[in-house]
Amino acid sequence: MMTAPQDKTPRCGAQAAEPNRGPIRVAFIGNQDNCAFRLCRWLRAFGFDAHVYMHPDNLNQVRSRPVLMDRNFDITTCPWVHMYTDLNAPYPYFRKTPASRAIERDFDLVFTSGPSVMFGLQFDTIPVFHIGMGENAAIIPSVGWLDRKPLADKVTGFIYRRALLHTDRVFSGIWASLARLCKDLGIQGRVMFHIFPEDVRRNRSYVDADLLAELTARYADSNKVFLWLSRVNFQVERAGCTKRADVFLEAFARVAREGGDARAVVGSHGYDVEAFKARARELGVEDRIDYVEHLPFWKLMTYLSIPNAVVFDNLNPSEAPLGGLSREALSLGAPLVRAADLFYNAQVFGAEPPLTRASSVEECCSAMESFLALGPEDMAERRRRVSEWAETYLDFRECLTMRRIMAEIGTAVLAYRAMEQRYGHRCLRFRLGNAAIRPLLIAYRRAGEARSWLRQRLRRRNT
């Protein structure tokens, strides 16, 4: 069962949604890439009574463990992080469970993110918001019944589409496939495109002074150190996967051959690490590249703070929003090179982000050469300007996105309370529909399992 919410007393400075109702209570279901954990903490800073209910799978995903963001985190002592463990039955999202009933009773609004969108189907008396993220936003909901995909993907695609139809609001970076899917579903009016903010002060507080001094001394003999700490993906042609690390490598090798005084630091995680290393050997630059493991958050913040470092991120020209690594680099004042739609980013941030655009080998070479031409004073001034921009437009305390999210939460909660008082709940139609769908999906899955079993028997008989 689920851990009960704790610490329900109003926060100092909390703005109640209605007089005498206390602060707005928000429950996050799932924690893909620690998105819910961070947004929950920021809402609490603004006076919301927000809690995270982590799916057990989140603990098996390195990028989704809260300890990655906070090395002192302990789920047993944190009063606002709980486990969502009421998941025993097949397709639990199509029925009410003790866990979902408790959340509906104790909270005013539910936030899902990534694959946890399915659990939004359990809630029909409070608003459901969703944060569309990564491949789950871009690929899975588009899988239809007639696609040549495995049965499990077809069922999941159907559930995702139904869950998206159930949402009151979808927050997402610009994913063309998600935008088209929402248009096909007729819910494009519910989508708010945004870029996730950062806690600039907290990010800077994670920098380890001793490690930073060690790294500064290690790379002091190099003019610049070029960081590729994003996933090493370039052979997998899937939305959200292809980062074009090969473009970075080719550009670095060309600059190195021309005498550029630089080293590279590359994160050894992603689909194509071995292919990357093999190509580095072919290009003769293996001895100028340092490979590091998937860094915990505090160590990542420290690497991004190296005084002569330049950060390279996603070079895929189809990517419009700034991903986590790019935002974190900007929050530390690091010079950033990546593919980006500056017009789109200016709209969602309120000002054009201070980055260098590049998506081809030639553009990356040009960026590297321009940074190699900068002296220490110029780099320090560049970092200062980037830091000032981050404090004004990226930090959650000031940024446009956070204000819009909080306004949407308050508006939806007030609307539901008014609707409940005037008309009662909206739940009956959707609850009846879910009650009919769940046994059909179970029967469909069992029929698929029976077909697979029969094919295996026939193969054995023929052989």
Do residue 226 and residue 243 come from a single domain? yes
Q: Judge if 53 and 162 occupy the same domain.
A: yes
Q: Is residue 1 part of a domain?
A: no
Q: Which tokens go with 28?
A: 């996050």
For residues 210 and 184, membership in a common domain is answered with no
In a domain, 40, yes or no: yes
Q: 361: domain CATH number?
A: 3.40.50.2000
Residue 89 lies in a domain: yes
What letter represents residue 90's amino acid? P
Q: In a 3-state reduction of DSSP, which class is residue 228?
A: strand
Low-confidence residues of the chain: pLDDT under 50: 1-14, 16, 19, 239, 428-429
State the pLDDT at residue 6: 46
CA atoms within 13 A on the CB side of 459: 6
Has residue 183 been placed in a domain? yes
213 and 170: one domain? no
Same domain, residue pair 31 and 152: yes
Whether residue 388 is found in the same domain as residue 407: no
Give a yes or no: residue 457 inside a domain.
no
Judge if 265 and 166 occupy the same domain.
no
Would residue 30 count as lying in a domain?
yes
Same-domain check for residues 40 and 161: yes
Overall number of domains in the chain? 2
Same domain, 146 and 189: yes
Look at residues 35, 77, 80 and name the one whose alpha carbon lies nearest to residue 53.
80
Please identify, among 392, 416, 443, the residue that sits at the C-terminal boundary of a domain: 392
Residue 83 domain boundaries: 25-197+401-451
The pLDDT score that the predictor gives to residue 214 is 96
- Same domain assignment for residues 148 and 282: no
Distance CA 95, CA 89 (A): 9
Note whether residue 418 is domain-resident.
yes
Residues 383 and 408 in one domain: no
Q: Which of 350, 368, 392 is the last residue of a domain?
A: 392
- Supply the pLDDT for residue 58: 75
190 and 266 share a domain?
no
Q: What is the DSSP string of 188-223?
A: GGGEEE----B-HHHHHHT--HHHHHHHHHHTTTSS
In a domain, 458, yes or no: no
- Smallest Cα–Cα separation from 270: which of 254, 253, 291, 288? 291
Which of 357, 372, 392 is the last residue before a domain boundary?
392
